[in-house]
A and B are shown apart, each in its own frame.
Chain A
Amino acid sequence: MAATASNVCVSLDGQRQVLSNASLSIQKGTLHMLLGPNACGKSTLLRVLGGLLKPDSGTFSVPSSIGYVFQNPDHQVVMPTVAADVAFGLGRQKLPAAEVHRRVLEALRLVGMEDCLERACHTLSGGQKQRVAIAGALVQNPQVLLLDELTTFLEAGDQAAVLTAVRAAVDGPQRVTALWVTHRFEELTRADAASFMDGGRVQMTGTPQNVLRRMHRMKGR
């Protein structure tokens, strides 16, 4: 397993239970999708896994190197130029410029943005920005990528490009594991596994087809 959470409980403001005994395990080298209605706690679970939020109880285990990509790329892309932004995650290491450049180029190539090395970030489209944000996470060589609703703000073409970029990272030599939160069923077809969340807990995990069938049955009821 690349990442697991078991019986994680989180309550915000000390009263409202956002996660109640949420358990999830993700296999290494897979693209795992997490679905569920709004406010069911998907982002909160991701924040727990990413170490941005401390759970009240329960345990979780993730590798030391995680990449986190937020829903809105405008918040994640912080430097004015693409290359510098992707390199931002390397800031805590002392590396020669040539090595930084090599790794930036490699990450950008993985998301299909190697032509935009010197572009100003504010001239990129939403999907391009989102792919730069993914490259910024990939450059740190994470073992797990936590991706929170990357495609909500994007047009169909950009959506597909972003999903392809993540797929490339998962299928690549580094065998990255990706947890992908989404509301879009059409994206499920590109996943290796999926989980359905509701009411602060993970209701089921299985193949994308099984999860989809279960959700359609729920809709029927």
Chain B
Amino acid sequence: MLQRFHKHHCTHNAIAGTDQTSLANARWKQGLLQPKPATRPHTHQRCARSRRPTVGRPRALLGLLQAGRAGRGKGSSESIEDKVLSTFLSGSATPYSSYIADPRSFLHDVHPIIKQVWLVVVLGTAGRAPAAVQASLCLVTVLQTISTLPPRLWQPQLKRLGLLCTVILLFVCIGADSVPPKLQTRAPPPQVSGLPSLAASKGAYKHVLFHWGIFTITQRSLTLACSSASLTFLALQSASLTLTTTPSEEIALALQSLMSPLRFLGVPVKQVTLSVLLALRFMALVLEEMRNLALGLAMRGVDWKAMGPGSGLNVIVRLVGRLFSNLFRQSEAVAQALHARGFVSADEHTIYTGLLHKSRPFNNVICCSAIAGLLAQAFVHL
């Protein structure tokens, strides 16, 4: 196992600085003597049929990291660099949300353009909507998530997002009005003018809801906290739902048709669409490359303590340089492959999804009326 990964690393990640030709030549000679099964240089996820991401691989990588450390007899103490490295290796190689073809849900059969318009409308209106509307929007989004995604996906997703929004809620609630600057108003204070103070005379409405030491929660901070938390939740979760229920190509093509009027202003709409798609595909490559570099570092079992302070930063700087040069090499190869596959220019190339998805009128109508309702509500509260 160790050997396999090591071989992979040396031959395919130039970080080792090994002469690729000589190594590969050794491989050829090996092949002459005894044909060997191949190594797996790219740490692809093995998902034969299921869409479940494997957890085995990160574990194996962590094992490697530990093996590297044990090799130099320092298994007990873990330096910061090691911790950073293991976080890296145990992280997910897939971007946040990717398309889930099945089970098909209500949202799968909604037209991608409508989903994108919904996203924009939610972002534009939810922040200023009354609390009741915000709460019901969040509720609908949660229900939609639960009904769309399998439990193994929505449970951690909602948990993470819920935590984030709670943190935002608390911090804004406490932070917004707790340390108000001390201001002198232009009007004289009530004791000078002889009038009863306003706050004392009115009991029904209280601007300050809670006050203890330096903590103050006011009507304003509460509203602000609710708005920012719900807006964060709605923005992230609706985007995630759109991504999980629409193939990336359909999203890009919908974007293309939404942007097509801009063609008359000279915007290269087709090029933008293709760039978006290539960027989506490339994102996975970048993550993979980063993991490969981290793996190479882990394999070496570097003794950070012996290298002295600042060594971690030094290595990181050099790794980033390496990452970029590897990525540039990869993109050159991708460009050549595009050419070999008949690509000449974005304007002459049609992007086909290769799928025959048809949205359902019923689903579209429901979503359109939801959008209309949201817009009407925003208009009323303008």
Verify that A and B bind, or say they do not: yes
- Judge if A11 is at the interface, Cβ distance under 8 Å: no
Instruction: Report chain B residues within 8 Å CB of A95.
Output: 352
Instruction: Say yes or no for A75: interface residue by CB 8 A criterion.
Output: yes
* B46 interfacial contact with A, CB 8 Å: yes
Q: Which residues B240-256 have CB closer than 8 A to chain A?
A: 247-249
Q: Do B35 and A126 touch across chains, with their CB atoms under 8 A apart?
A: no
Q: How would you classify the secondary structure of chain B's contact residues: helix, strand, loop or mixed?
A: loop
Q: Which of these, B99, B342, B344, contacts A89 with CB under 8 Å?
A: B342
**Chain A residues in 8 Å Cβ range of B372:** none
Segment at the A interface, from B200-208, B229-237, B258-266, B280-288? B280-288
User: A78 contacts which chain B residues (CB < 8 A)?
Assistant: 277-278, 281, 334, 337-338, 341
A136 touches B51 (CB 8 A): no
Let me know if A125 and B45 touch, CB within 8 A: yes
* A residues less than 8 Å from B334 (CB atoms): 75, 78
Please, how many angstroms separate the alpha-carbon atoms of A84 and B354 in the complex? 5
B300 to chain A, nearest CB (A): 22
For chain A, residues 117 to 144, give those with C-beta under 8 angstroms from any C-beta of chain B.
Answer: 117-126, 129, 136-137, 140
Q: Does A68 contact B37, Cβ atoms closer than 8 Å?
A: no
Q: Considering residues B99, B330, B333, B353, which has the most beta carbons from chain A within 10 angstroms of its beta carbon?
A: B353
Cβ 8 A contact of B277, one of A72, A79, A156: A79
Please state if B354 and A50 are interface contacts (CB–CB under 8 Å).
no
Q: Compute the total of residue contacts between A and B using a CB distance below 8 Å.
A: 188
Residue of A nearest to B249 (CB): A84
Q: Give CA–CA (A125, B285) in the complex, Å.
A: 14
Are A153 and B355 interface neighbours, CB within 8 A?
no
Q: Interface with B: A22-30, A166-174, A178-186, A199-207, which one?
A: A178-186
Q: Which residue of A lies closest to B52 (CB)?
A: A123
Contacts A37-B28, A38-B25, A184-B35: A123 and B352 contacting too (C-beta < 8 A)? no
Given contacts A89-B342, A122-B98, contact A153 B28 (CB under 8 A): no
Q: How far is the CA of A124 from the CA of B334 in the complex (A)?
A: 18
CB < 8 Å neighbour of B42 from A74, A84, A140, A183: A74
Asked if residues B46 and A84 are in contact (CB atoms below 8 Å), the reply is: no
| B171 in the interface (beta carbon within 8 A) | no
Binds B, one of A13-21, A55-63, A96-104: A96-104
Contact of A153 with B352 at beta-carbon distance under 8 Å, contacts A78-B281, A84-B249 already known: no
Residue ranges of B at the interface with A (Cβ–Cβ < 8 Å): 21, 24-25, 27-28, 31-33, 35, 37-42, 44-49, 51, 53, 93-95, 98-99, 101-102, 247-249, 277-278, 280-281, 284-285, 288, 330, 333-334, 336-344, 348-356
13 more contacts with CB within 8 A, not counting A72-B42, A124-B45, are A75-B337, A79-B277, A79-B351, A81-B353, A84-B248, A84-B277, A92-B348, A94-B350, A123-B53, A125-B45, A156-B37, A184-B31, A184-B35
| Nearest 4 A/B pairs, CB to CB | A83-B354, A118-B101, A122-B284, A87-B354
